[in-house]
Amino acid sequence: MTVKSCEKLEKSRVALTIEVGAEEFEAAVNKAYLKMRGKMNIPGFRPGKAPRKMIESMYGAEVFYEEAVNAILPDAYESAVDEQKLEVVGYPQVEIENVGKEGATFKCTVAVYPEVELGQYKGLEAVKAEVKVMAADVNARLKEMADRNSRLVVVERAVKKGDTANIDFEGFDQGVAFEGGKGEAFDLEIGSGSFVPGFEDQLIGMKAGEEKDIDITFPENYTPELAGKPVVFHVKVNEVKVKELPAIDDEFAKDVSEFDTLKELKADIKKKMTDERTAAAQRAFEDVLMTKVAEGIKADIPDEMIEMQAHQMLEGFKQQLASQGIPFDQYTKMTGMNEEQIIMDAKEPATNQVRMDLAIRAIIKAENLEVSDEEVENEMKSVAEKYGMDLDTVKKYLRPEDVKEQVIREKVVKLVADNAVAVAPAEEKAELEEKGEIVEKKPAAKKTEGEKAEKKPAAKKTAKKDAE
């Protein structure tokens, strides 16, 4: 096998012209003969016993050429790719230029990873929210905890919004009960939106023991069997219940946490909320920065890369639906969409993702970033600790190469973030300027002759009142 030429084309495509010599091609033709001879009937010969020359004289010398080319092409193409050190994308388009006793020549056109010209990835600016946790935030979290620890108490009055009605119900389509439309002793929170629009509102005002027919029309995007249909639900209210919330005090703190006092619980909530919001602010900051990095690259991206990414997104979406118990064909019927339309809609986010991946690859190369075996091991240990799993179990489910990829991507994001400038949100900046507490920002990477520019934050943080 010889690579006759390697021609660069537009849209990061390469045309490889590959030659297979006479001796190598002859060996492939003979293998094709040995494989195919049993299927050829030659008068005077038992199946599989006819000489090659006899078969070729009857069917033509090229009778085995197609099989020979199909057998020799994959290895020849792979060798050519390795020789030219190409990072190919997808499968090649193959054109047979000539084939005969002197050998074979074919042209393989394939997309390759594009050359990437990085834009700015250091000294970028992005808004980063100031983390605040006020007393009202802590109290709201406490209320959520109290709500989760509430109990339902039966009351002797009509149903109100926010109540929980225990009901028996059965749905009828033109007088015929339909599948999935019946329930007994079902607790329904009025206003939760759990049932079809219009159902819950019609229960308001009913009392325990009352029965009623409720007329509703199913939405157009409901299951095909009932979409847009008017139906009747016969409903009986068994009980009316209200939430009884526990008092938020020291006893509550003991019941729901490891703390003895409400003050300690509040302090813990504040810390956790601060950590959560700090992490969220950092992620948002990093997302904006990496989006800027991806937008800043120059690359002749092949269509194949975007197409492959769009299909990956489709497969991910199918898995997401399956995890929710929704078959993909059911989803397409409900939405009126097909695979082709979903892939078309995925083209823009797929393009953005490809640009992001290319930008990360380019930064890894520019900064000579690497991941050691020790770092991979530590990341697996971290995963095991986070999810309370045995390390050996984690290693069964996580491939080292996938963990390595994740770690090096995190290194890239950290590098970009560490070399960026955080800017206060517009409303915070205006507030600081009004108070005369804004600090003029200096360029992140600007240096004077013989000295380093001192790095200063974009804005000076003001003291904030702690949550109680």
Last residue of a domain, one of 112, 143, 164: 112
Could you tell me if 132 and 461 are in contact, meaning their C-beta atoms sit under 8 angstroms apart? no
CB distance 306 to 354 below 8 Å: yes
Q: Which domain holds residue 37?
A: 2-112
Secondary structure letter of residue 445 according to DSSP: S
pLDDT in tens, 282-339: 999 999 999 999 999 999 999 999 999 999 999 999 999 999 888 898 888 777 788 9
Q: Do 94 and 10 sit in the same domain of this protein?
A: yes
- pLDDT, position 170: 94
Within its chain, how far is the Cα of 145 from the centroid?
A: 31
Residue 115 CA neighbour count, 13 Å, CB half: 5
| 151-205: pLDDT as tens digits | 999 999 999 999 999 999 999 999 999 888 899 999 999 999 888 889 999 999 9
Final residue before a domain boundary, out of 244, 273, 299: 244
Domain for residue 32, yes or no? yes
The vertex-96 CA angle with 94 and 102, nearest 5°, equals 140
Closest CA to 331 of 343, 317, 312: 317
Q: Which pLDDT tens digit goes with each residue over 384-402?
A: 998 999 999 999 999 999 9
- Which secondary-structure segment (H or E) carries 463? none
Coil, helix or strand for 217? Answer: strand
pLDDT of residue 462: 40
Give pLDDT tens digits for 34-50: 888 888 878 878 777 88
Q: Quick check: is 444 in a domain?
A: no
Please give the pLDDT value at position 179: 86
Q: Helix crossing, 339-367 with 400-418: angle to 10°? A: 70
Tell me, yes or no, whether 93 and 182 share the same domain: no
Domain membership of residue 406 (yes or no) is no
Domain tally, the chain: 2
The residue ranges of DSSP E strands in 287-379, in sequence order, are: none
Q: Are 29 and 64 in contact (CB under 8 A)?
A: yes
* CATH code: domain of residue 30: 3.30.70.1050
Residue 220 lies in a domain: yes
Q: Is residue 106 part of a domain?
A: yes
Which of 244, 272, 303 is where one domain is finished? Answer: 244
Contact of 16 with 6, CB cutoff 8 Å: yes
My answer on whether 92 and 12 are in the same domain is: yes
Residues 358-372, mean pLDDT to the nearest whole number: 95
194: domain CATH number is 3.10.50.40
Query: Whole-model pTM?
Result: 0.72
CA distance 306 to 346: 9
